[in-house]
Amino acid sequence: MSTAQQQRICSEWEPINKSEYRGIWVYIEHANGVIKEGSLQLIGKARELAGKLGDADVTAVMLGYNLGDLVKEPIYYGADKVIYIDNPVFSKYIPHVYAEAIVYLARKYKPEIILFAGTKRGRELAPYVANSLRTGITADCTDLDVDPKTRDLDQVRPTYGGNMLAHIRTPTRRPQLASVRPNVFPTPPRDTSRKGEVIREEFNEVIDPRGPGLVEVRSVVKGDELPPVEKSDIVVVAGKGVGGPDGVKLLTELAKELGGTIGGSKKVVDAGWLPSDRQIGQTGKTIRPTLYIGVGVSGAIQHIFGMKESRIIVAINSDPNAPIFQYVDYGVVGDYKDVVTKLLELLRNRKKG
Amino acid sequence: MKEGLTIVVPVKAGVPNITAVRFDPVTHNIVREGVPLMLNPYDRNALEFALRLKDKYGGKVITLSMAPPSGKDFLESTVGMGADEAYLITDRVFAGADTLATSYTVARTIQKLFPNFDLIVFGEETTDSTTAHMPAQVASWLELPYVYYAVDAEVDVKNGMIRVTRYLEDEGVYEVYEYKLPVIISVYKNSNPPRDISLNRKIQARLSGLVKSVTNNELKLDTFCVGLRGSPTIVAKLEEAKPIERKKQIFKGSPEEAAKWLLENLVKEGVIKA
Ligand SMILES: Cc1cc2nc3c(=O)[nH]c(=O)nc-3n(C[C@H](O)[C@H](O)[C@H](O)COP(=O)(O)OP(=O)(O)OC[C@H]3O[C@@H](n4cnc5c(N)ncnc54)[C@H](O)[C@@H]3O)c2cc1C
């Protein structure tokens, strides 16, 4: 094959020189002066990957208006550098405008890897950025690694129901993009003594927003006051086996007693016993609490998917052959109502005296 | 502004049983040929979203899918649900496409066949690949505004403006976006419960040939931009997912004993304070 043939690429892709691309970027998502946990976790992972590559640094990329001291935060969590744009354009979030700004920065600085937290907004931005750079992207990776020789990012993602892991690579294009759901990696410690470089970029590209874009934001008042599932160290999860809203109520008491929160399987959410933002699993939230307690949860692979990284896994199920027992540290075979009631009694007695 | 809206709903033929699939030993891609296909469930919510807009503002809803020839059948079910016409983009050169190459094929097909479209409405993601890449990637090829997780929309047909309400589940907020048409939307999967598929309409679709096939003979896309060659990502390896080693201690006994046993172990593990 001649070189000309080898180099024949899609007429809409710019030819690239892979060796011009260096460094790992993490797109930093933030709201109300707080950086999203998922972005901080990626800084930690990026540090590790940069170590393997040898000559790569970790850069946090931020967009916003009146960012102030927030731009220093990524450094405290392990970034070497922060590149940011502070511009009224970003006072409201408009997906294609944000995405175009990231594309603009990536064209200028040529990072070899860009990571996004797989939040709702991250999953919306990342594919547009990848596409505009005519490169590959892998969604919802559960692990990342690099090959120091080829500098290819090994993007691991569960596929086809979670039974298989696919290792995806982008050997011929740069940058390489991936999104990772929050809580797949741990949050690195915050160290305010860390130093790094902070670079302010201007954004003069005029993007036709084709309308005002975001015009209204409404908060939904939540009916329950327990913390969100991805924020809690202890998560008690109700499965279909708890039989109904009363079962969920009993487990909510247990969650409160333990200082944790309540989650549910898909069946419980579909039945309307819990809101959908409490669903654990492939199509719900990924959690990695110190303690997961699944009650009346059968342990379908799509569910296991969202909790298998928990430090200690406990299950209570009346069926000794329930698949979830394959994944537990401690399993109790029994009717959930009896066991949970007794457990609550014990916990309350302990408190009393 | 012309009469009514032209809404394109790209849909995917999902592989129904994701745990019993075959893989191509060389490319590691899923083998779709000869597998009975079904409409990705979340695409039905998207189609419902589009049909409601059509019911309100008039116009037509066109579904389209890139799939093997067997995809005709599931496209007939989109007509059964209420789509006016359906297009099957099918050609061997499109095989093995990743999301970049697929979005390219879909975007350029829409430009060619329906240059005056007002809206492209996607489902949130597919249940067999769950990437949610397609809407943003098509938006990038067409350089259009886009918004994910839409639950509702209102159109000002006279001025060609749309107001889209979307729900961000993880933040618990609704946001409203206003854009000039055309725009790209993806529909929140837990919204717009889909109407039934009428068997009559489905049969009618077959009898009157409402599903049309298009190949690259008509589309004339650069073959280096589509299929395997237009795909920058490769599946380097597929392996069984290995679970973390667990203690797997199982207790059977009275509820009292079980509760005591559990509590002792959790305290010992340090996950519950002693
Ligand atoms: C594409 C796709 C995505 C999915 N995504 C998710 C997801 O994100 N999250 C998710 O959870 N699921 C998901 N699912 C669904 C998943 O396959 C299972 O259907 C679901 O997890 C089962 O929920 P469950 O364990 O609560 O209910 P069931 O499977 O009905 O299990 C109930 C369990 O309760 C036990 N039980 C009954 N009575 C009692 C009692 N009195 N005391 C104790 N135990 C009792 C039973 O033995 C049984 O094991 C997905 C499926 C698909 C196809």
Percent of chain B with pLDDT over 70: 94
Sign of dihedral through CA atoms B231, B236, B238, B244?
Answer: negative
| A172-186 pLDDT per residue, tens | 999 999 999 887 888
Instruction: For residue B164, give how far its alpha carbon lies from the nearest alpha carbon of chain A (Å).
Output: 9
- The answer, yes or no, to whether residue B17 has pLDDT greater than 70, is no
Residues with CB under 6 A from ligand 1: A 239-241, 265-268, 279-284, 296-298, 300, 302-303, 306, 316-319, 322, 335-336; B 127
Q: What is the mean pLDDT of residues A3-14?
A: 78
pTM of the model: 0.82
Contact residues, chain A, for B271 at CB < 8 Å: 234, 290-291, 311-312
Check whether A6 has a pLDDT greater than 60. Answer: no
Measured from the CA of A316, which atom of ligand 1 is nearest? 43
Q: Do A313 and B132 touch (CB under 8 A)?
A: no
**What percentage of chain A has pLDDT greater than the value 90?**
80
Whole-angstrom Cα distance, residue A156 to residue A162?
A: 12
Task: With a cut of 80, say whether residue B36 has pLDDT above it.
Answer: no
CB contact at 8 A, B228 and B96: yes
Taking an 8 Å cut-off on Cβ atoms, the answer to whether B243 and A339 are in contact is no
pLDDT level of residue A222 (50, 70, 90 thresholds): low
CA–CA distance from A73 to each of A21, A61, A117, B240 (Å)? 25, 12, 16, 38
How confident is the model at residue B19, as a pLDDT? 52
pLDDT digits (tens, 9 = 90+) for A75-117: 999 999 999 999 999 999 999 999 999 999 999 999 999 999 9
> Which residue puts its alpha carbon closest to atom 38 of ligand 1?
A241
Band of pLDDT at residue B20, cut at 50, 70 and 90? low
Q: What is the mean pLDDT of chain A?
A: 93
How high is the pLDDT of residue A224? 58
Quick count: other Cβ atoms within 10 Å of Cβ A255?
22
pLDDT value, residue A181: 87
Q: Tell me the shortest Cα–Cα distance from B244 to chain A, in angstroms.
A: 8
How far is the C-alpha of A312 from the C-alpha of A310, rounded, in Å?
6
Token readout for A68 is: 């102030």
> How far B234 CA lies from chain A's nearest CA (Å)?
5
Q: Which residue of A has its CA nearest to B230?
A: A10
- Cross-chain Cβ contact A167/B239 below 8 Å: yes
- At A348 the pLDDT is 94
In chain B, residues with a C-beta closer than 8 Å to the C-beta of A173 are 232
Q: What is the pLDDT of residues A142-175, one digit of tens each?
A: 999 999 999 999 999 988 766 789 999 999 999 9
Return the residue whose CA atom lies nearest to atom 1 of ligand 1. Answer: B127
Mean pLDDT of A215-233: 80
Query: What average pLDDT does this structure show over B211-236?
Result: 97
CA distance A48 to A79: 11
CA dist list (Å): B200 to A285, B11, B211: 40, 21, 15
Average pLDDT, chain B: 92
Cα B37 to chain centroid, rounded: 14
| Structure confidence at residue A4 (pLDDT) | 45
The DSSP code sequence of B176-205 is EEEEESSEEEEE-TTSSPPPPPPHHHHHHH
Inform me whether the C-beta atom of residue B224 falls under 8 Å from chain A C-beta atoms: yes
Cβ separation B178–A215 shorter than 8 A: yes
For residue A268, give the ligand 1 atom closest to its CA: 26
Question: A226 alpha carbon to ligand 1 midpoint, in Å?
Answer: 22
A346: part of which helix (H) or strand (E)?
helix A336-352
Q: Calculate mean pLDDT across residues B106-132.
A: 95
Residue among B30, B225, B233 whose CB faces A136 most closely: B233
Closest CA to A294 of A305, A222, A140: A305
Contact B241 A164 (CB under 8 A): yes
Nearest to A343 among B243, B251, B263 (CB): B263
Check pLDDT > 90 for residue A138: yes
Test B241 with A258 for CB contact under 8 angstroms: no
pLDDT of residue B240: 85
Evaluate if residue A2 carries a pLDDT over 50: no
Whether residue B12 has pLDDT greater than 70: yes
Residue numbers in B near A325 (CB within 8 A): 248, 250
- DSSP letter, residue A127: H
**C-alpha R_g of chain A:** 23
What does the pLDDT look like over B158-200, one tens digit per residue?
999 999 999 998 788 999 999 999 999 999 988 999 999 999 9
Would you state the pLDDT for residue A277? 86
User: pLDDT value at position B2?
Assistant: 61
Contact residues on chain A for B145, CB-CB shorter than 8 A: 94-96, 209-211, 213
CB A229 within 8 A of CB A285: yes
> Which has the minimum average pLDDT: A247-261, A331-345, B21-35, B58-72?
B21-35
pLDDT of residue B1 exceeding 50, the answer is no
The mean per-residue pLDDT over the stretch A216-235 comes to: 81
Q: Is the pLDDT reported for residue A223 higher than 70?
A: no
pLDDT of residue B29: 74
User: CB contact, 8 Å: B20 with chain A?
Assistant: no
Rounded to whole angstroms, the Cα distance separating B181 from B160 reads 6
d(CA B124, CA B136): 11
Nearest by CB to A169, which of B177, B233, B252? Answer: B233
